[in-house]
């Protein structure tokens, strides 16, 4: 058996997949209707919309299969996302990559596989639309074209998800997308008895940047702030732009003291960035940090509210200190 290789852009691919907020969510009719149609059109027992994350292929839609995920290292879809067109395995039992694969030797006894890589709007391959039969077969040219058309419909549905959950300017999650992802993150922490911390960040003097340098420069400042977050936070950290110049970060398996250190480190990172780019203004921020308390924070919104209060208190204190300094 040959395990699938990792794409060269694996980190960016996983970041895109997480931002969509589709993993571990209920099945949806808009995807199920496509896999039902695929089964009828190709007279095939199994049709799936598969999303490939770090360690598994997880099925957003699975018609004809009783499980919702299988390990990535034995997945056919892990191979399919490496290409740009349909990957067809006409006879899995004689294919050197898959002949001794447990999904071939055992349930669901794959004899035939066809997978088309599904891309997000930024071009990252996040999964596949795939067809599975228990016996060898092939697809003619017309069937391949129909299959591609169905896969493009899946991509359009993915794009609709992105438009609803991603911030257009910075390409990270918006408030809606963050709330969906954070809900899953906090549920995981409750199940595993793990700590979590949430922080709200507000860029200081952002109005002055817009007024002095123009809105285009203000947009540039927001994108730069976002890039520093992307480059310096952990891959498992959730972050989003939730309003004009306000951002949020959720750190799972992180105590409050560790979260405070993250903010200290990020302040230093921005200071180095300011010294390096010299744009005529500095990127700085105020923040509020709260630790997750399951009995107090029944929703993510309540954590946001508590962090907001702390952040605005810090912002007021900065303004007060600045006015005092100006008087001296």
pLDDT tens by residue, 214-246:
999 999 999 999 999 999 988 778 899 999 999
Which conformational region is residue 146 in: left (phi greater than 0), alpha (psi within -120 to 50 degrees), or beta?
alpha
How far, in whole angstroms, is CA 154 from its chain's centroid?
Answer: 17
Whole-number pLDDT of residue 210: 95
- Domains of the chain, each with CATH number or no CATH: 10-165 (3.30.450.40), 175-327 (3.30.70.270)
Q: In what order do the strands lie in the sheet with 56-63?
A: 69-71, 56-63, 46-52, 125-133, 112-119, 87-89
Q: What percent of the chain has pLDDT over 70?
A: 99
Contact present, 72 and 53 (Cβ < 8 Å): yes
pTM of the model: 0.63
Whole-number pLDDT of residue 328: 62
pLDDT, mean over the chain: 93
End-to-end alpha carbon distance in the chain: 74
How far, in whole angstroms, is CA 178 from its chain's centroid?
Answer: 10
Across 59-68, 157-166, 237-246, least confident range: 157-166
Where do the DSSP E strands lie in 245-314?
Answer: 246-252, 285-291
Across 151-155, 253-257, 280-284, 320-324, least confident range: 320-324
Whole-number pLDDT of residue 177: 85
Residues 6+ apart with CB under 8 A from 171: 122, 226
Q: How far apart are CA 109 and CA 105, in angstroms?
A: 6
Render 97-141 in DSSP notation, one character per residue.
TTTT-HHHHSTT--SEEEEEEEE-TTS-EEEEEEEEESS-----H
| DSSP-derived 3-state class of residue 150 | helix
Which tokens hold the place of 37?
Answer: 């149609």
Q: How many CB atoms lie within 10 A of CB 205?
A: 17
Nearest to 77 by CA among 62, 40, 146: 62
pLDDT in tens, 22-51: 998 889 999 999 999 999 999 999 999 999
Q: How far apart are CA 89 and CA 136, in angstroms?
A: 8
pLDDT band at 76 (very low <50, low <70, confident <90, very high): very high
How many angstroms separate the Cα of 260 from the Cα of each of 198, 230, 266? 10, 18, 10
């Amino acid at each position: 058996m040959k395990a699938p290789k990792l794409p060269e852009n694996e980190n960016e691919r996983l970041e895109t997949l997480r931002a969509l907020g589709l993993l571990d969510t209920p099945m949806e009719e808009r995807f199920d209707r496509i896999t039902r149609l695929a089964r009828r059109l190709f007279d095939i027992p199994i049709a799936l919309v598969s999303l490939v994350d770090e360690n598994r292929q997880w099925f957003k839609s699975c018609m004809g299969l009783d499980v919702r995920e299988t390990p990535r290292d034995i997945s056919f879809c892990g191979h399919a996302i490496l290409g740009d067109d349909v990957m067809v395995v006409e006879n899995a039992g004689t294919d050197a990559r898959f002949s001794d694969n447990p999904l071939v030797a055992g349930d669901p006894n794959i004899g035939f596989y066809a997978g088309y890589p599904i891309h997000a709007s930024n071009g990252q391959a996040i999964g596949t639309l795939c067809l599975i039969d228990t016996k060898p077969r092939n697809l003619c040219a017309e069937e391949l074209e129909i299959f591609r058309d169905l896969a493009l419909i899946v991509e359009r549905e993915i794009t609709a998800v992105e438009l609803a959950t991603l911030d257009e300017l910075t390409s990270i999650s918006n408030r809606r997308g963050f709330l969906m992802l954070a809900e899953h993150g906090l549920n995981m922490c409750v199940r595993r008895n793990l700590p979590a911390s949430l922080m709200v960040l507000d860029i200081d003097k952002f109005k002055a940047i817009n007024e002095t340098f123009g809105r285009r420069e203000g947009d540039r400042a927001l994108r730069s702030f976002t890039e520093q977050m992307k480059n310096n936070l952990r891959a498992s950290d959730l972050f989003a732009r939730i309003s004009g110049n306000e951002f949020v970060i959720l750190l799972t398996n992180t105590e409050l003291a560790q979260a405070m250190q993250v903010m200290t480190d990020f302040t230093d990172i921005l200071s180095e960035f300011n010294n390096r780019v010299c744009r005529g203004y500095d990127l700085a921020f105020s923040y509020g940090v709260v630790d997750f308390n399951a009995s107090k924070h029944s929703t993510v919104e309540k954590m946001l509210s508590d962090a907001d209060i702390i952040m605005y208190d810090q912002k007021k204190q900065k303004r007060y200190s600045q006015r005092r300094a100006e008087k001296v």
